[in-house]
Structure 1
Amino acid sequence: MAASLRKGKSTMRIATDRDVSVQSAVQEELEWTPDVDAAGIGVSVEDGTVTLSGEVDSYAERVAARRAALRVRGVTAFVDNLTVHPKETPRPSETDVAKAVSLALNATSTIPATVKAEINDGHVTLTGEVEWDYQRRAARRAVEHLLGVQTVSNLITLSPRPSALDTEERIRGALTRNALLDANRIKVTVLGNKVVLDGTVRSWAEKQQAGRAAWGSPHVNDVEDRITVRSD
Structure 2
Amino acid sequence: MNDKQLRQNVIEELEFEPSIDAAYVGVAAAHGVVTLSGHVSSYPQKTAAERAVWRVKGVRGLAQEIEVRLPGHKKDADDEIAQRAVNVLAWNTQVPHDAVRVRVSEGWLTLSGTVAWNHQRTAAEEAVRELTGVVGVFNEIELAPQIRVTDIKQRIVAALGRHAEVEAAKIDVDVDGATVTISGEVDNWGERQAVERAAWAVGGVRKVVDNLRFRM
Matched-pair contact (CA < 8 Å) for 1:76–1:228? no
Q: Which residue pairs with 2:150 in the alignment?
A: 164
C-alpha RMSD of the superposition: 1.4
**Please, which runs of 5 or more residues in structure 1 have no aligned partner?**
1-16
- For the residue of structure 1 that corresponds to 2:66, the secondary structure is strand
Render the CA deviation track for 1:145-204: whole Å, top value 9, x for unaligned.
111111101011111442413x21211121122122111221111112111001121212
- In the alignment, is residue 36 of structure 1 matched against residue 3 of structure 2? no
- In the alignment, is residue 207 of structure 1 matched against residue 197 of structure 2? no
1:146 to 111, 118, 131: 131
Deviation at 1:89, TM superposition (A): 2.3
Tell me how far apart the structure 1 counterparts of residues 121 and 60 of structure 2 sit (CA, whole Å): 25
1:92 to 60, 65, 76: 76
- In the alignment, is residue 130 of structure 1 matched against residue 115 of structure 2? yes
Deviation at 1:205, TM superposition (A): 2.0
Letter of the 1:216 counterpart:
A
TM-score by length of 1: 0.87
Letter of the 2:157 counterpart:
R
Q: Which residue pairs with 2:183 in the alignment?
A: 198
Matched-pair contact (CA < 8 Å) for 1:133–1:158? yes
TM-score by length of 2: 0.94
Q: Which residue pairs with 1:3 in the alignment?
A: none
Deviation at 1:58, TM superposition (A): 0.8
Structure with the bigger RCO (C-alpha within 8 Å, sep 6+) is 1
Tell me how far apart the structure 1 counterparts of residues 166 and 16 of structure 2 sit (CA, whole Å): 25
Deviation at 1:74, TM superposition (A): 1.1
Tell me how far apart the structure 2 counterparts of residues 143 and 77 of structure 1 sit (CA, whole Å): 26
Q: Which residue pairs with 1:10 in the alignment?
A: none
Deviation at 1:90, TM superposition (A): 3.8
Q: Which runs of 4+ in 1 moved over 2 A?
A: 87-90
Q: Percent identity?
A: 37
